[in-house]
Amino acid sequence: MPKQRIDKILASQNIASRGQIKNMIKRGAVTVDGITVKRPDEKYDAEVSRIAVNGNEITYKKNIYIMMNKPKGVLSASNDKYEKTVIDLLSPELKRKGLFPAGRLDKDTEGFLLITDDGKLAHQMLSPKNHVYKLYIAETDKILTQSDADKFKEGIKYGETAFLPAEMKITDKNTALVEICEGKFHQIKKMFNAVGANVLYLKRLKIGNVFLDENLKPGEYRELFEHEKIDILQRTKSI
Ligand code: URA
């Protein structure tokens, strides 16, 4: 990793504000490999050096990965002139970090949204070629049948758009679990439309092998655990 200014490294780790960090450095509170840092513009490789503040070593995290339970009524976007976005729901410290939602859930869709600054992982997770399945629960306005599920399995055609074969499992008259590895615009709503149903409620429950944390209320979020950064790219199927 290229060397970076120590004040920038510490700010990126939410240690304190840039101003407070400058003061900490002035006071001699910051050390790198045991040696006191004298100036905020000294450069280090954060992945190699042992950086400590007031004697406490920091665990350097290159990227941020946030699991959000996206609420209804909020846009999956980084910013919007008029409407509230998922980034607006984050704390001021996190808002500064250039985070973006990895893929989109519609404004009226709820559930698991990954928010990160890791473009590579986002691409791996979203690319249909990688077969990372996303599990949704959908409530519709129609009593669903096995013949509808069979059509999902064959691969739905919607106008000019062809969707890859997908699993749909009816859980209750008009409610079903659906698993897809693509993320085309309004995909699940269109797939149900193609079998004569309108989606009334949609929630994403799982990405790869990571379930949405049931302790997160709509609008709440937490960082991914280490193992979840690996599990979120698994090709695990649930139905
Ligand atoms: N499919 C949809 O139609 N909407 C979503 O938000 C996600 C998948």
- Model pLDDT for residues 135-144, shown as the tens digit of each residue: 999 999 999 9
- Catalytic: 106? yes
Q: What is the mean pLDDT of residues 135-163?
A: 97
Position in ligand 1 atom list of the atom nearest CA 105: 6
110 burial via Cβ count (<10 Å: 0-12, 13-18, 19+): buried
- Give me 167's structure tokens: 């699993």
Question: 10 CB under 6 A from ligand 1?
Answer: no
Report how far apart the first and last C-alpha atoms of the chain are (Å, whole number).
Answer: 41
pTM, entire model: 0.91
Same domain, 213 and 171: yes
- Is 13 in a helix, a strand, or coil? coil
Same domain, 81 and 153: yes
Calculate what percentage of the chain has a pLDDT beyond 70: 100
CATH of the domain at 43: 3.10.290.10
| Residue 238 in domain | no
Query: What is the 8-class DSSP label of residue 127?
Result: -
Give the count of domains, the chain. 2
**Are 66 and 212 in contact, with CB atoms under 8 Å apart?**
no
Closest CA to 53 of 7, 91, 97, 3: 7
Task: Give the distance (Å) from ligand 1 centre to CA of residue 157.
Answer: 16
| Residue 239 in domain | no
Same domain, 50 and 69: no
- Is 10 in a helix, a strand, or coil? helix
Same domain, 41 and 95: no
| Residue 103 in domain | yes
**Which residues lie across from 101 on neighbouring strands?**
115
Same domain, 106 and 211: yes
| Distance separating alpha carbons of residues 132 and 39, to the nearest angstrom | 46
Same domain, 131 and 34: no
pLDDT at 27: 97
Task: Give the distance (Å) from ligand 1 centre to CA of residue 75.
Answer: 12
Q: Give the tens place of pLDDT for each residue, 32-56.
A: 999 999 999 999 999 999 999 999 9
Inform me whether the pLDDT recorded for 92 exceeds 90.
no
> Which range of residues forms the domain containing residue 47?
4-57
Q: Give the tens place of pLDDT for each residue, 193-237.
A: 999 999 999 999 999 999 999 999 999 999 999 999 999 999 999
Position in ligand 1 atom list of the atom nearest CA 109: 6
| Residue 236 in domain | no
Q: Give the tens place of pLDDT for each residue, 176-191.
A: 999 999 999 999 999 9
* Residue 16: band (very low, low, confident or very high) from pLDDT cuts 50, 70, 90: confident
Same domain, 139 and 98: yes
pLDDT at 82: 97
Closest CA to 183 of 111, 125, 139: 125
